Structure 1
Amino acid sequence: MGVYIRTQARPETPWESLNVLAAPTEGPAAFGGDLGPRSLLTAYRHGLYPFPAETAEHCIVNELTYEADVAAGRVKLIPGYDDPFSIAWCSPDPRPVILVQQARIQRSLRRQLRKETGWTTTADVCFERVARQCRAGRTERWLTDDLLRGLCLLHELGHAHSVEVWDGDELIGGVLGVRVGAVFSADSQFTLRSGAGKAAVADLTRRFAEAGGLAVDVQRDGDHVRLLGAQPMSRRQYFGLLSARDEGRPLATGRLPARRLAD
C-alpha cells in the first residue's frame, strides 16, 4: 500500500505576488521591503530598482503623494522597514535600454578617446569606491548608506559590478549596477573628467556583450544615454529579456586601453 505525503506549497513571497506588469507606468510600483542583498536581487529579477528616501521629509512626501494609489491597490506595500514609504521600487514603462549589439559611441567621444592615450578601463577593481563617488556631492542622495551597504554585499556575492575609467592611476569615471542573467541594470555613474562617465558605460556595454549579455538597462532616459544607443523598451519586452536567466560568462576585469572603444 502506497504512502501519500501531502506537501505544502511554498508560500508566495511579497515580491512574487506583486504584478509589476499591471503597475503604473510612471512613479513607484511598490513601497517598503528592505535593502538587504537578497531583497535587492529579488527585486531586480522582478524588473524593479530601488529609490530610497534619504530623509523623513522625503518619506512624508512619498506617503502624501501616493497614499491614494496604495489605498486603491495600484501601488503595493511590501513588508519591511517601520516606515514603508522609505523605499520606493520603480519599473518605468517604457524604460531606456541599450541592446549591446546596437550600442554606439558618438563621434565626439570617439575623437576624445583616440586622444586620451593614458586612459584605461577595468572592472570590479574598486566597487565601493565607485559607489561612493556616484553619490558624492549629490543633493538628492538616493544611494543611501543602507543601499550602499546592500549593493556592496551583492558585489561580494558576485551579482553587482563596477567599471572604472582611469587616467594613469587617477580614477576619473565609473559606473555600477546589478547583473540579472542577460540584463545589466546600470544604477549610477560618475565622471570627474569630461567624457569619462560615458566611456565607463560604453566599456561596460562592451564587456557585458563579450560575457554573453544582451542588454544594459540605464533606467533613466536622457540625451546622454540616447547617444550611447539607448532606446525605449516596453515593460513587457524588458521582462522577456529578464526571463533569459543564463548568466553567461563572468565579466572580464582586466585593464584595457579606453581608446579601443573608438574602433
Structure 2
Amino acid sequence: MSRCRGWEALDVLEAAPDGPVAFCADLSPAGLLAAYRAGVYPFPASDEYARALNEVVFADQVQEGHIWLVGEESADPYAVSWWSPDPRPVLSVSGPHLSRSLARQLRNRLPWSTSLDRRFERVVRECRAGRTPPWLTEELIASLVRLHELGHAHSVEVWEDGNLVGGVFGVQVGSVFSMDSMFFHRSGASKVAVTDLAARFAQAGGVLLDAQRDSPHVRSLGGILVPREQYVRHLRRAPRDSLPMPTATLPVRRLAQPAGSR
C-alpha cells in the first residue's frame, strides 16, 4: 500500500493511464488547489453505495501500491477518487472555435453577452442539475466557492435578455485553466462560454485550457489529446499566482468575427 501525506509527494506520471490515480478524503479548498496543481481532479462518490463500490473495485490495486492513498490515515479515502488521465484532453487558448452556423446566428440575431465571475455558484449548481452521477457534492461546491472567493476558481456566464443561458467554470493554475463542467439552456451556449473563456484567458496571458475528460463535445471545440507528461510539464512551469482575466460584460458577437478582426 502506498500512502502520502499530501499531493506534492505524489508523482502522477507514475500512475496508470486510466482509472483513479489516488483516493483522498480531503476536499478542503487548500487540498483541492494542491491537487489541481499536481494535475489531478476529484470525482466524489454520490452516495454510500458508490463509496463502497470504490473500495470493492479498487482495494486490491491500492493494496498493491498501484493507486495511492493521500492524506491522514484516520480519514476514510474511498468517498473521493482522483483522476489524471493519460492522454489529457486540452485546448490551446487560440483553439476553441464556433461553428459557421452558430457564428452566423450570433452575428445576425442572437443578443447574447458574456461575463466573468458574476454568478459563480449559480453556474456550478446549474452544471450539477440533472447530472448523473451527481459528483458535484455540497462539500465540493463549498470548497469551489471558497476557491472562487480566493481568486483561484472562475466562471464565465452567457446571458440572453438578463437570463443565464449557459456557462463554464473551473480552477486556474497560473497559465493553465482546468475546466470542471459546463452547461447550456440554449443550443450553443456552452460552446460560447468556452470560447469566451479562452479569449479572456489569452488576454490575461493564459496558455492552455484543460478539458479533463475527452468527449465529442470537447473535440468539436478544437480539443486535442496530449501526453499526460506534457500537460504536467505545463503545470510545473505555470506561475503560482493567478492571472487576472478581464471582467467586463461583453457582447458575444465579437467571438463570431474572424480571428484577425476581433
Give the TM-score band, short-chain normalised.
over 0.9
TM-score normalised by length of structure 1: 0.92
Contact residue 181 and residue 248 of structure 1 kept, 8 A: yes
Aligned length: 252
- Structure 2 residue aligned with 1:250: 244
Percent identity (aligned) = 51
Gaps of 5+ in 1: 1-11
Residues 40-65 of structure 1: per-residue CA shift (max 9 Å, x gap) = 00000000001000100001111111
Identify the match of residue 206 of structure 1 among 167, 186, 199: 199
- Structure 2 residue aligned with 1:223: 216
Contact residue 20 and residue 67 of structure 2 kept, 8 A: yes
The code of the aligned residue for 2:254 comes to R
- Structure 2 residue aligned with 1:148: 141
Per-residue deviation, 1:168: 1.4
Identify the match of residue 169 of structure 2 among 163, 173, 176: 176
Identify the match of residue 52 of structure 1 among 44, 48, 67: 44
Identify the match of residue 92 of structure 1 among 64, 67, 85: 85
Structure-2 separation of matches of 1:184 and 1:72: 33
TM-score normalised by length of structure 2: 0.92
Per-residue deviation, 1:37: 0.6
Max Rg structure = 1
Aligned positions of 1:47-86 closer than 5 A: 47-79=39-71, 82-86=75-79
The code of the aligned residue for 2:219 comes to R
Contact residue 157 and residue 166 of structure 2 kept, 8 A: yes
| 1:39 and 2:31 matched | yes
Structure-2 separation of matches of 1:116 and 1:99: 29
Structure-1 separation of matches of 2:31 and 2:92: 26
- Structure 2 residue aligned with 1:24: 16
Contact residue 30 and residue 78 of structure 1 kept, 8 A: yes
Structure-2 separation of matches of 1:155 and 1:165: 18
Residues 116 and 31 of structure 1: is their aligned pair in 2 closer, same or farther, counting only changes over 3 Å?
farther
Structure-1 separation of matches of 2:65 and 2:249: 49
- Structure 2 residue aligned with 1:4: none
Structure-2 separation of matches of 1:62 and 1:116: 49
SS at match of 1:137: coil
Kindly report the root-mean-square deviation, in angstroms, between the aligned alpha carbons of the 2 structures. Answer: 1.5
Residues 59-107 of structure 1: per-residue CA shift (max 9 Å, x gap) = 1111111111101101001125742110111000001100113332222
| 1:139 and 2:128 matched | no
Structure-1 separation of matches of 2:98 and 2:111: 19
SS at match of 1:101: coil
The code of the aligned residue for 1:46 comes to A
Identify the match of residue 115 of structure 2 among 119, 122, 143: 122
